[in-house]
Homo-oligomer: A and B are copies of this chain.
Amino acid sequence: MAGQAANERKRFAPDERRQMIVDEAAAFFSEVGLEGTTRELSQRLGVTQSLLYAYFASKADLLEAVFERVYLDRLSPDWPVLIADRSLPVRERAKRFYREYTGAIFTYEWMRIFMFSGLAGAELNRRYLGHLAKLMLEPLCAEMQRAAGAKGGPQMEDIWNLHGGIVYIGIRKFVYCVPTPDDFAPPVEAAVDRFCDSFGLE
């Protein structure tokens, strides 16, 4: 059961092989944590451990590549446009944004790698949250304030509360591994609805 037909040496172009490694590494480290061993990863790739070091100078180097792959392009450039689109009620914009946003990040890999790296104190996490706030949440907050007018809309801390309530669904599912609704859309929309209701937003 140890090494079956493992001696079939297959040769790949460097770019292709590199991507194979990063892909599998993302899946692997999201499962077992950032301290997963290079040996176990190489086994899952059907490849020698030493091969990893032909593509990455160190394990930290490989992890950095994983972070980049996982974080990169998760924040769609369409979302700031959507949030600023005043032809739609803010409520509808918020719903669409969070439907798409949760669709993008509610995956086993993303949720867990984000948590693992957050706990490890990765600077990348704070940078990501900073971008998210600046590009999506602060504009959303401003749009809601504008729509609320004299009634006084939400402050950023309120927006973070909305955000947290929604993201927590993913945490329950992928970090705590407890049952959640199969379809995320209904609870997400309900959360946005309640939030808008409480601020009297259209």
Contact = CB atoms under 8 A, between A and B. Distances in A.
A65 to B, nearest CB: 21
B190 A158 contact: yes
Interface of A: 33, 35, 112, 115-116, 118-121, 125-126, 129, 157-158, 160-169, 171-172, 175-178, 181, 187, 190-191, 193-195, 197-199
A119 B126 contact: no
Nearest to A164: B168
18 contacts: A33-B35, A33-B120, A35-B35, A118-B175, A119-B175, A126-B176, A126-B177, A129-B176, A158-B190, A158-B194, A160-B169, A161-B187, A164-B166, A164-B171, A165-B168, A167-B168, A194-B198, A195-B198
A194 to B, nearest CB: 4
A35 B178 CA distance: 24
Nearest to A157: B187
Q: A interface, by DSSP: helix, strand, loop or mixed? A: helix
Q: Copy number of this protein in the oligomer? A: 2
Contacts of A161: 165-166, 168-169, 187, 190-191, 194
A165 to B, nearest CB: 3
Contact of A177 (B121, B160, B198): B121
Contacts of A199: 194
Contacts of A195: 194, 198
A119 to B, nearest CB: 6
Given A161-B190, A198-B194, A115 B175 contact: yes
A118 B33 CA distance: 11
A136 B197 CA distance: 26
A164 B170 CA distance: 10
A178 B118 CA distance: 10
